[in-house]
Amino acid sequence: MHKIESKNLDFFYGTQHALKNINLAIEENTVTALIGPSGCGKSTFLRLFNRMNDLIANTKLTGEILIDNKDIYAKGVNVDALRKQTGMVFQKPNPFPKSIFENVAYGLKVNGISDSKIIEERVETSIKQVALWDEVKDKLKKSAFELSGGQQQRLCIARALAIQPSIILMDEPTSALDPISTSKIEELIFELKSKYTIVIVTHNMQQAARVSDSTAFFYLGELVEYSATKELFTNPKVERTQNYITGRFG
Amino acid sequence: MTHLEHEMQQLKAEILDMSQLVSQQMKDSLLSLAKMDKQLAIETLAAEKQVNAMELKIDRTCEGIFALYNPVAQDLRLVLAQLRINYNLEKIGDIAASVAKFVKKSFLFDYSSLIENTHALQMFEEANDLLVDVMTSFETEDAELAKNILKRDKALNQQNDQARAYIIDQIKKDPENVEEYLKVLSLVRKLERAGDQSKAIAKEIIFFVEAKIVKDSKQD
């Protein structure tokens, strides 16, 4: 069974046909990279997995998106529960104006967990999972804004992990970070994939190559090619993919 | 651990597996020559397919690392070195297989005194020792041990020269069997070339550890 699957999926912003008949299946505990030039639909596609696009007016979706074989756009789906299952990390680190501890504890509290022992344990585990514990353990009560950009991004990943999702969506998670912080996040992605299914949108093709098991290349709302990353970067089947990854595009 | 570190570890493990396979091929081939054991020669030849498949696999791993991880500095040198070491190991495997083919095809003529007087078995042992030691220097990234291999290869060259002189002498004395003598001459040269391949591996190790390119001197 696939963890995520899109079937005959079309998506529109008003009259603009943003995604065209996308059929794609993602295996559990893998990293899938979505690549393509700006406006190709890769971020739109990512945001369909936690129904973020619901917040945009005048959009329309046809076809299906299945998570654990259930259509997440079916009537009666609990969107809050869906978003608990799918943690998301954005381009710019976006910690809350709270302490480091509270940033990670926040999701737990709004989800009704009040036992302070459980919260403390979960916060510590999540921060350790993102390899940030040693750097922040002595200043958990300090503001999250005191951390560097790279640390803030790892904190945001810890915040996503605390609510124990099974899927992590990453929308260009390192584009605002320096090379060392980027490398730490990439290392983290490698560590996390044994427990989570990760989908990452990236403009950096080398990053897609380095971190993912499968890569999907989008162009003008179409899924041009989807295959094992090694295959796509050594022997792409479609000329457009070859032109894009070798920088000869257009 | 980064993705690249993980891939590099895997590549190194594949190269070490390949070297063990080739070294076993050398030992079996040596034994088949020492006993002129056709059955063992046939079994040794069967391993050749495995070595060839492994060479292809390692080639693909290296290609993947270049394409996906853009290695730089020592990582880059290490992948380049392993790509070439892979080729050298496969060539040593070819030599072991060609000795096994010689044993398999030998009929009627008694090669025993010729093999003894050319010291072919000792050359064979030395060639395999060089392989084992050079792969130890690869595993431990010991450039000093690799430099020592470069010196030791000269002994094999000398043995080859002596064997050649002996065979030329024999051909003059017994021209009727010139074809058989030439087969042994060819075999001895291959053993000397197995040493050359280990020497080439040693140079790759010096290249990736010290970033130095070792060129042959004219004397070599």
CB contact under 8 A, B3 and A206: no
Total domains present in chain B: 1
CB contact under 8 A, A190 and B1: yes
- In B, minimum Cα distance to A187 occurs at B2
State ipTM: 0.72
CB-based contact, A183 to chain B, within 8 Å: yes
- Kindly state whether residue A139 falls inside one of the protein's structural domains: no
Q: Provide the residue range defining the domain that includes A189.
A: 4-92+167-245
CA distance A189 to B114: 63
- Kindly state whether residue B98 falls inside one of the protein's structural domains: yes
- Kindly state whether residue A174 falls inside one of the protein's structural domains: yes
Q: Which of B1, B6, B70 sits opposite A206 (nearest CB)?
A: B70
* Phi/psi of residue B177, nearest 5 degrees: -100, 30
- Kindly state whether residue B159 falls inside one of the protein's structural domains: yes
- Kindly state whether residue A241 falls inside one of the protein's structural domains: yes
CA distance B75 to B203: 17
* Residue A247: per-residue pLDDT: 85
CB-based contact, B6 to chain A, within 8 Å: yes
CA distance A172 to A175: 6
User: Which of A182, A184, A186, A187 is the mutation pick for testing B, counting most B CBs within 10 A?
Assistant: A187
CA distance B220 to B210: 22
CB-based contact, A136 to chain B, within 8 Å: no
Per-residue tens of pLDDT for chain B, all 220 residues: 788 899 999 999 999 999 999 999 999 999 999 999 999 999 999 999 999 999 999 999 999 999 999 899 999 999 999 999 999 999 999 999 999 999 998 877 888 888 999 999 999 999 999 999 999 999 999 999 999 999 888 888 899 999 999 999 999 999 998 999 999 999 999 999 999 999 999 999 999 999 989 887 655 5
Element of type H or E holding B64: helix B38-69
- In B, minimum Cα distance to A229 occurs at B68
* Residue A131: per-residue pLDDT: 87
- Kindly state whether residue A103 falls inside one of the protein's structural domains: no
Averaged pLDDT score across all residues of chain A: 93
CB contact under 8 A, A210 and B4: yes
Q: Provide the residue range defining the domain that includes B111.
A: 3-210
- Kindly state whether residue A222 falls inside one of the protein's structural domains: yes
Total domains present in chain A: 1
Please report, for the domain that includes residue A75, its CATH number.
Answer: 3.40.50.300
Q: Are A174 and A185 in contact (CB under 8 A)?
A: yes
Tell me the shortest Cα–Cα distance from A190 to chain B, in angstroms: 7
Q: Which residues of B touch A230 (CB under 8 A)?
A: 64, 67-68
CA distance A10 to A8: 7
Q: Which residues of B touch A236 (CB under 8 A)?
A: none
B106: left (phi over 0), alpha (psi -120 to 50) or beta: beta
Q: Which residues of A touch B68 (CB under 8 A)?
A: 209-210, 229-230, 233
- In B, minimum Cα distance to A182 occurs at B2
User: Which of A210, A212, A245 is the mutation pick for testing B, counting most B CBs within 10 A?
Assistant: A210
- Kindly state whether residue B215 falls inside one of the protein's structural domains: no
> What global pTM score does this model have?
0.81
Residues 54-113 of B with CB under 8 A from A: 63-64, 67-70
User: What are the CB-based long-range contacts (under 8 Å, 24+) for A187-191?
Assistant: A187/A131, A187/B1, A187/B2, A187/B3, A188/A130, A188/A131, A188/A154, A188/A157, A189/A31, A190/B1, A190/B2, A190/B3, A190/B6, A191/A129, A191/A131
CA distance A159 to A123: 8
Written as one string, the DSSP assignment of B122-167 is HHHHHHHHHHHHHHHHHHHT-HHHHHHHHHHHHHHHHHHHHHHHHH
Q: Are A27 and A35 in contact (CB under 8 A)?
A: no
* Residue B153: per-residue pLDDT: 83
CB contact under 8 A, B69 and A209: yes
- Kindly state whether residue A130 falls inside one of the protein's structural domains: no
Q: Are A126 and A102 in contact (CB under 8 A)?
A: no
The strand pair at A31-35 and A197-201 is best described as parallel
CA distance B210 to B8: 18
CB contact under 8 A, A190 and B6: yes
Please report, for the domain that includes residue B123, its CATH number.
Answer: 1.20.58.220
CB-based contact, A246 to chain B, within 8 Å: no
Beta bridge partners of A217: A35, A225
